Structure 1
C-alpha cells in the first residue's frame, strides 16, 4: 500500500513570497545578506523577478517609482543592520511623496534581539518615523497578517511606505499561518453628501474660485474626474509640482501653471486672486500653506483621502474626505457653469501670452554652455504621450517644474517632498520596467547623479532602454544660489569634474556629450536609437538661476 506523502509545511519565507505573488508583485529590488537569504532563496522558485541593486537606498527609490506609476506597492528587500538602515531615505521619500512601497528587512533571530551581536538593530523603531506602518513578524502565526496589513497600509488612503522586519528564525521555521487574501471589494466611497452640497454652494457663490491640484490629483482616475470638473465649471486651476500631468491639453487655457517652493510664479497670482480655493489631493509638504495662504481670509475646501492637517494658514471650511474621483464627479454635478471673472480672465490671458513668448525666446537661446530654458524647449518637443520623464532634485528641477508642460497623468515624476537627491536614475529604471514600450528620460545634476549613479550597472544588466541626462556645472548649485542670497557667498558647494562618457563606458553603457544648443535634438535622437542605457552630459549655463529665487512675496519670508 502506497504511503501518502505529506506536503512540507510552508516556511515563513514561503508565506512572505506567496503573499507577494498574491499581491501581483512582479519585481523585488534589493541587496541580499545572511539574515534575509531564506527569502531570497524562496524567490528563485517564484514568478517574481529579483533585481539585485548596488545600494539599498536605490532599491527603495526604484520600488517607489513602481508604486507611483502603477498605484500598486513596489517592493524593496534588504538584510539586517545597515542593509535596513540604508532603506531609510528611500522609504522617507516614498512616504512623503505618497508612493506605495513595502520594504522587507532581515533581522537577527528573536532570541538575539536584545543582545549586542552582529547586525542587531531595533529596525521597527527606526522605520516608524518614516513609514505609515512598521512592524515585526514576531511569531510563526503572524507572518501572513503583517504582510497583508503592510500592503493594505502602503496602498490605502494617501499611499506611502510600509516596513516589515523578518527575523531569520521566523523565516526558516514552519509558518503556523496561511497566505491571507485581500478583500475582493474594498475602499472608501465618495465624501458625505451634505459636505459635497455645502462645498458646491460655497463654490457657486464665490466670485473667483480657484482649484489647487496636488499629488493625488495626478493619479489617472482622479485626473479624468478633475478634467470634467474644470471643463464643466470653467474654473481656473493651478497645480503643485507633483500634480504634473493632471490637466489635459484641451484645458490648458484654464491652467495658470505650477506652484511650489517659492512664491514667485504666475500661478501664485492666480492663487492670490482667488476668493475661494478648492484643494484636490493636496498635501502641505508639496507647497506650504504659509507660502500661499498666510493672512488670507478666504474659504478653503479640502478634497482628499485624509482630513487636513490644520494649520494657521490652512483651516478648511469644508472637508470632502473619501474616494477622490467619485467625490469630484458628484461635486461636478452641482457646480454651475461660471462666467469667468474679468480679473481672473485677464490673469489667465496674460499667463498664456507670456508662456508663448517665453517658449519662442527659449527656442532661440544659442549660447554655450546651454541655457536651461533651451534644454526645456528641446525636451518639450520630445515629451510626446509615449514618453516618461523622471526628474532629480536641483536647480534644473525648478526650471523643468515651472516651464515644462505635461498633459498625461504621472508622465512626469517630480520630487518636492523630501527633495531627495538621486531619485531620477532609479525612477527611470522603474519606468523601463513598468512602461517597456515607452521612451524613458531621466535627468539629474552632476551633484545628484553620483548619489545613485552606481545603479547604471543595474540598468545595463536589465537592458533598460533609458536615456539619462546629466546637467553639468560642477556645484550643488541650488544650495549655492540660496547661500549667496543669504550670506553673499557660497560654502561647501563645489566638487570635482565628472566625465559622463567614460563613466558610462566603465559600466558597459554608451555615453554622449552635448556641447552646444544645436546638438541637443540630434544627440537625443541618437540616444533613443541606441539599445540599453545611455548617459548624456551637457554643460549648463546657470547664470540666471538667481531669478528662480527672486521676487518673493514679503509676507512669506520666515
Structure 2
C-alpha cells in the first residue's frame, strides 16, 4: 500500500494514491510505454492490476464493477490505439448508467500538437461518450482532475469519465495532496409539495402503472420499491435493465420486462394506464414513443436527474433526488389501490402463461435446442447465489423476457448501446466483486468471439464462471430483422468453431451439448466445475419471428 505520509515520487504515484483513497480495488488494462509508470506505481499499492487482452474488454470490466458496486471501476491503457480501443466501453457505460473511469496515456505535453508516434486528441475523442473528459496539464492538477473525474462518473445518473495522462507529467515530480475519496454529497427528498402532488395523482388515477428503469434495480432503491408495493399494490413493468427490482412476494404484480418490440403483457398494461410512474428510468432503455405514442398518459418522473423532455415524455411531476428516500416519502401518502378489471386480467393471463411455460418449456426436445428449453434450464440454476451476465443477440431477448430474477443486479443486461461482447468481461468483473457467487455468462457464437480472448484472463484469475454459448453460425438478431424488412438476410453468416476445443486450449473446461436430453446434466457438470467452463449449445431459432409477433407468452410453445 502507498505511504500517503511520504511525498509522491512522481505524477503516476499521485494518480494511484488518489485511486486508493477512493477505494478502488482493481485496475483493468493493458500497459504501454506512455503509461508504464502508472502500472509501476500500482505495484506498490493496495490495488490489484488485472491485465486484459483487449482495451475494450478492460472498459467493460470496469463498467461492470461500477454497476455492481456503485463505485467507479477503473481502466488503464496506453496512448494511441490503446485509447482508441476504449470508446465502445465508455459509450456502453455512459448509456447503461455504469460509473467508470478510464485513464489513458498520451504523449508529453510539448508534443501533443505534433505528428509524433501515437499522438491523438483523446479528450475530443471521448467527449461524446463520457460525462467528463479532460487532460492533466500540470503536475499540480493531478489530484484535482482525478477527483473531479471520479465524482462525475458516480454522480447523478452515473456514466463514463476519461482522463488523459501525459507521459512527462506521470514521470515528473508531483505536487499537491490527495483529493479523491472525500465525502460525496447525498441527494435528499424532493420538495414536500412535489411529493404531495405526485401522491394525489396516483391516488386519483384509475389505473396507475409503475415503469422501472435501471436505477430502480440498485439495492437500496429496490428495497424501497418492495416496501411501497407491499403497502400499496400497483401493477409494475420494467425495462430489461431493471431486472431483479421486483421480489418474489410482489411477483404477481409484475407484468414482465419490456423492450425492443411493443408486444408484451407489460406493453398492454401501459396502453391501458392513465398514469405512468417512471422510477430510475432513462429513455435509452425503452423509448417513450414505444409505450406512450399518443402522449395521452400523465407521467410522474422519479429519478436522480431531471427528465429529458420528449413529445411522448413530458412529466406532470418530477421527484428528483434520492430514489429510495422519495419512494419512502411517496409510500407514506399513498392510499391502498384495487387493481382495475383490465389490469387484473392482464396479470392473471400472464400468470397462467408463466405456469404453461414452466410446464412445457423443460419438455422441449430435439437438436438444435429450442431457446425456451435453454432458458428453463438456466432458470433452474439461477439461485440467489448466482449472478448472470447476458450479451447481445437473439438469446438476449429470450432471456430478458422469460428468465425471472428476484435479486438486485443479479441479471446484467446491455440495452443502452446493445453492445456485443460484454458478457464474458462483465462476468470476470462480477467474479471479483462477488467472489462467493457462481457467475453465469451467456452469449451467442457471434458475440462470444468479440471478447473470447478474455477466457485466458478468466483462467489466469481462477474466475468461477460458466460461460454458455448459443450456436447458430449467424448474427441471428440482425437476420430476423432483415428477413422481416427485406425478405432475405445479408451479411450475417459465418463459419463454425469447436468451442469445446477452444475452451480446453485456453485452459478452461469445455463442454458440448448435442441434444436436448443432454442439456441439464451438462449444465450441472459445468456449474460444478470450479473455475472457468464453457458450454456450447446448438440453438434452433426458428421461432424467433414470434418474438416480433403479437402473441401471448403461453403461445410461444
What's the TM-score once normalised by structure 1's chain length?
A: 0.97
For residue 253 of structure 2, what is the aligned residue in structure 1? 254
Secondary structure class of the residue paired with 1:493: coil
State the distance in 1 between where 2:44 and 2:486 align: 59
- Asked if structure 2 preserves the Cα contact closer than 8 Å seen for 1:230 and 1:237, the reply is no
State the distance in 1 between where 2:352 and 2:285 align: 27
1:522 Cα deviation (Å)?
Answer: 1.0
For residue 390 of structure 1, what is the aligned residue in structure 2? 389
Could you report, residue by residue, the CA deviation over 1:154-173 in whole angstroms, capped at 9, with x for unpaired residues? 11111110100000011111
- The alpha-carbon distance between structure 1 residues 117 and 296, as it changes in their structure 2 partners (threshold 3 A), is same
State the distance in 2 between where 1:380 and 1:343 align: 29
1:191 Cα deviation (Å)?
Answer: 1.3
CA RMSD of aligned residues (A): 1.2
For residue 204 of structure 1, what is the aligned residue in structure 2? 203
For residue 124 of structure 2, what is the aligned residue in structure 1? 125
1:9 Cα deviation (Å)?
Answer: 4.6
Could you report, residue by residue, the CA deviation over 1:184-243 in whole angstroms, capped at 9, with x for unpaired residues? 352110112111110000000001000000000000000001111122111000000000
Residue 370 of structure 1 pairs with residue 369 of structure 2:
yes
Instruction: Identify the range of structure 1 (184-193 vs 412-421) with the bigger mean alpha-carbon deviation.
Output: 184-193
For residue 556 of structure 1, what is the aligned residue in structure 2? none
For residue 444 of structure 1, what is the aligned residue in structure 2? 443
For residue 466 of structure 2, what is the aligned residue in structure 1? 467
* Structure 1 residue runs without a partner (length 5+): 1-5, 553-558
1:519 Cα deviation (Å)?
Answer: 1.5
Q: Could you list the runs of 4 or more consecutive aligned residues of structure 1 that deviate by over 4 angstroms after TM superposition?
A: 6-9
1:181 Cα deviation (Å)?
Answer: 4.4
Work out the number of aligned pairs and report it: 547
- Asked if structure 1 preserves the Cα contact closer than 8 Å seen for 2:23 and 2:181, the reply is no
State the distance in 2 between where 1:375 and 1:511 align: 18
Could you report, residue by residue, the CA deviation over 1:7-64 in whole angstroms, capped at 9, with x for unpaired residues? 6554111110001111111110000000001100100111111111100000000111
State the distance in 1 between where 2:366 and 2:8 align: 69
Could you report, residue by residue, the CA deviation over 1:327-375 in whole angstroms, capped at 9, with x for unpaired residues? 1100000011112212111111111111111221211111211100011
Residue 426 of structure 1 pairs with residue 443 of structure 2:
no
- Asked if structure 1 preserves the Cα contact closer than 8 Å seen for 2:427 and 2:465, the reply is yes
Could you report, residue by residue, the CA deviation over 1:223-282 in whole angstroms, capped at 9, with x for unpaired residues? 001111122111000000000000000000000001011101111111111110000000
- Asked if structure 1 preserves the Cα contact closer than 8 Å seen for 2:8 and 2:14, the reply is no
Instruction: Identify the range of structure 1 (202-211 vs 496-505) with the bigger mean alpha-carbon deviation.
Output: 496-505
Could you report, residue by residue, the CA deviation over 1:69-106 in whole angstroms, capped at 9, with x for unpaired residues? 11111100100111011011001001100001000000
Secondary structure class of the residue paired with 1:339: coil
Could you report, residue by residue, the CA deviation over 1:355-411 in whole angstroms, capped at 9, with x for unpaired residues? 111221211111211100011111111110000000000000000000000000000
1:551 Cα deviation (Å)?
Answer: 3.4
Could you report, residue by residue, the CA deviation over 1:433-477 in whole angstroms, capped at 9, with x for unpaired residues? 111111110000000000000000101110111100110001000
Secondary structure class of the residue paired with 1:141: helix
For residue 190 of structure 1, what is the aligned residue in structure 2? 189
State the distance in 2 between where 1:165 and 1:281 align: 31
For residue 507 of structure 1, what is the aligned residue in structure 2? 506
State the distance in 1 between where 2:52 and 2:90 align: 16
Taking the TM superposition and a 5 Å limit, the aligned residue runs for 1:268-417 are 268-417=267-416
- Asked if structure 2 preserves the Cα contact closer than 8 Å seen for 1:96 and 1:418, the reply is yes
State the distance in 1 between where 2:6 and 2:311 align: 61
For residue 434 of structure 2, what is the aligned residue in structure 1? 435
Instruction: Identify the range of structure 1 (355-364 vs 191-200) with the bigger mean alpha-carbon deviation.
Output: 355-364
State the distance in 1 between where 2:112 and 2:537 align: 50
State the distance in 1 between where 2:7 and 2:275 align: 64
Instruction: Identify the range of structure 1 (205-214 vs 187-196) with the bigger mean alpha-carbon deviation.
Output: 187-196
State the distance in 2 between where 1:379 and 1:280 align: 28
- Asked if structure 2 preserves the Cα contact closer than 8 Å seen for 1:33 and 1:79, the reply is yes
1:498 Cα deviation (Å)?
Answer: 1.2
Instruction: Identify the range of structure 1 (444-453 vs 516-525) with the bigger mean alpha-carbon deviation.
Output: 516-525
Taking the TM superposition and a 5 Å limit, the aligned residue runs for 1:50-89 are 50-89=49-88
For residue 531 of structure 1, what is the aligned residue in structure 2? 530
1:484 Cα deviation (Å)?
Answer: 0.6
State the distance in 1 between where 2:238 and 2:428 align: 26
